[in-house]
Structure 1
Amino acid sequence: MFLTEPRQTPYDLHFNLLNIPVRIHPMFWLVSALMGFAADRTPQMVLLWIVAVFISILVHEMGHAIVIRYFGWQPSVVLYSFGGLAIHNPYVQSQYGPGRARRSKWTQIIISAAGPAAGFLLAGLMLAFLAGTRVASIELEWFEGTNIPRWYTLVPSMGLMSKPNVFVFILDMLFINIWWGLINLLPIWPLDGGKISRELFQMVDGGQAIRNSLMLSLICAIAVAIWAFQAEQRFMPIFFGFMAIQNYQELSGSNRYGGNNLW
C-alpha cells in the first residue's frame, strides 16, 4: 500500500517545481491535519503544522526526484496520505541526464538516501540561520562520556518568545526533518532505509537477499510498533503495524526468495 500511487481525483493539486511535476492528493491534507491535532494546539498551530509537513515532505521527495533526474530518468512527485512518492518511468529518459539511465544497486541506494539527506540539509540550514541571526540558541545534549550529540534544545530569543506560533512552526520543521528523517532510515521496507538494506543484502547474498531483508524489516517494524505503543504515540503503532503486516505477507508470499528488486 505504501508504494502504490493513489488514483487521480478531481481535487488533486498539480504544479511543477524545478520542472518536476508534483501532484498532491487530498488525503495528504486530511492525514496531516489529523496528525497535528493535540489538546495544547490552537487552530493556528495545527494549520502551521500542516504547512510544515507539506514543506518537509515536498523537500524530502524532491531530494529523491532530483537525484533520479540526475541519473537520467524523468521523475514526478506525489504527496498522499502517509507521505509521498518520487516516481519515475524507467523507459523515459530525462533531458537533464542523457546516457546515465542505467539501474544499479548503488544508484538505488543513492536515490533512497537523497530524500532523508535533503531533510537533514534543510534542518541544518535552519539551525545555522537561527544561531547566526541569534533568533535562537542551540544547546546540545551529549551521550554520557562521548562527544556524540544525543539531542538539542532550542532556546528562543525574547523576540521569538513573543511569537509562539512562529516558534512552534520552527520546532515542527526541525522535528519532521530530523526525527522523521532518522525514522525513515530504519531498515524497514518500504521506508528508504528498507530499500537501502535490501540493496546491501543483494550485494552480499543475492539468492536470499529479499527474504533476509524482509526478516530484518519485520523484526524492526514489530519492535518500533511495540515501542511506539508503550510510548503512547498516536499514529506510529498503526503505521509500523501496517508495515509489519505487509512485510509478513511478502515474506510468506512469492517474493521471499530471489534477488530481484523493483524500483
Structure 2
Amino acid sequence: MHFRFLKISISIDLSYWIFLLLVIGSIGPYSEGLLWAGVFTFSILIHEYGHALMALFFGAQPTIVLQAFGGRTIFNESHVTDKQNFLITLAGPAFQGLFALMAYLLLQFNIFSGYLLNYLLFVTMYINSRWLLLNLIPIAPLDGGWLVRYILEKKFGRKGYLTSIIIGLAAAAIAIPWFYFQGYHWFFIMQLFICGWHYCKLWQKEQESS
C-alpha cells in the first residue's frame, strides 16, 4: 500500500499487516483488538511524521515505511548536517510525547463523557507513553540510542562511540527483564531483544578490529 500525505510518501509493507494481525490476536476480543491496532498504527505514523516533517523542513526528501515491529523514516542524509540529523531523530519522540500528553490532558479534564471516546484516549495515552519510554532507551536503532551516540561521539569521538555501545548493552540487560516483569507487550520485549543482539554484534566487530 502506497499513499502521500503532507508531501510525504508512505509505504506499508506486507510484513506490517502480518505483524498487526499477530498483535490483534494477542489482545483479546476482536473488536478491542481492532481498536488497539488502529491506535497503534496511527501512533506509529505520528512518531514517523515527527521525523519526516523535520527532514522535509531541512529539504531531505523523507519517505515513511511501515513494516514488522514498527516504522522507519528514510531520508537523504547527505543533504543534512549532523546537528540537523540529531534534530530529525529528536522530533519523532517529541511528536509522540505531545500526542500522549494531549490524550492524558483530555482524560484528566474529562472533556468527553462517552465511554468509547474515553477508552480510545486511554489506549492512545497507554500505547504512546509506553512506546515513548521504550524508544528513549539509549540503544540503537531506537531513537534514544542514536541521540546518545550522537552526543557522545560528537564530544569524545571514537571513545564516545564505544561508550555508547557499552551503555546500549547495559541498557538492554536492564530493560529486557524490567519491561517483562512490568507486563509490557511481547512486541516491546522483542524489540529490545533485537536491539540488544544488534549491540552485541557491534561490540564483537569492534573487538575483532582492535
> Is the pair's TM-score, using the shorter chain for normalization, greater than 0.5?
yes
Matched, 1:80 2:57: no
8 Å CA contact 1:108–1:196 kept in 2: the answer is no
**What is residue 145 of structure 2 aligned with on the other side?**
194
Distance 1:133 1:235, change over 3 A: closer
Deviations 1:191-235 (A, max 9, x none): 000000000111221022221111100110121112233345433
8 Å CA contact 1:37–1:46 kept in 2: the answer is yes
Deviations 1:142-184 (A, max 9, x none): xxxxxxxxxxxxxxxxx423x4xx4433222111222211220
Tell me which of 203, 212, 232 is aligned to 2:163. Answer: 212
Matched, 1:239 2:191: yes
Amino acid at match of 1:250: L
Distance 1:203 1:257, change over 3 A: farther
Tell me which of 20, 28, 31 is aligned to 2:19. Answer: 31
Distance 1:210 1:175, change over 3 A: same
Which is strand-richer, 1 or 2?
1
Distance 1:125 1:50, change over 3 A: same
Measure, in 2, the Cα distance between the counterparts of 1:256 and 1:208: 16
**What is residue 39 of structure 2 aligned with on the other side?**
52
Shift of 1:189: 1.2
8 Å CA contact 1:63–1:117 kept in 2: the answer is yes
Distance 1:223 1:256, change over 3 A: farther
Deviations 1:13-43 (A, max 9, x none): 100010100001122222233234446x321
TM-score for the superposition, normalised by structure 1: 0.72
Which is helix-richer, 1 or 2?
2
TM-score for the superposition, normalised by structure 2: 0.88
Matched, 1:125 2:105: no
8 Å CA contact 1:189–1:217 kept in 2: the answer is yes
Measure, in 2, the Cα distance between the counterparts of 1:185 and 1:113: 10
**What is residue 103 of structure 1 aligned with on the other side?**
81
Distance 1:223 1:73, change over 3 A: same
Runs of 5+ in structure 1 lacking a partner? 1-12, 92-100, 136-158, 259-263
Q: Secondary structure at the match of 1:74?
A: coil
**What is residue 90 of structure 1 aligned with on the other side?**
77
Measure, in 2, the Cα distance between the counterparts of 1:32 and 1:113: 26
Q: Secondary structure at the match of 2:140?
A: coil
Task: Point out the structure with max Rg over C-alpha.
Answer: 1
Matched, 1:250 2:202: yes
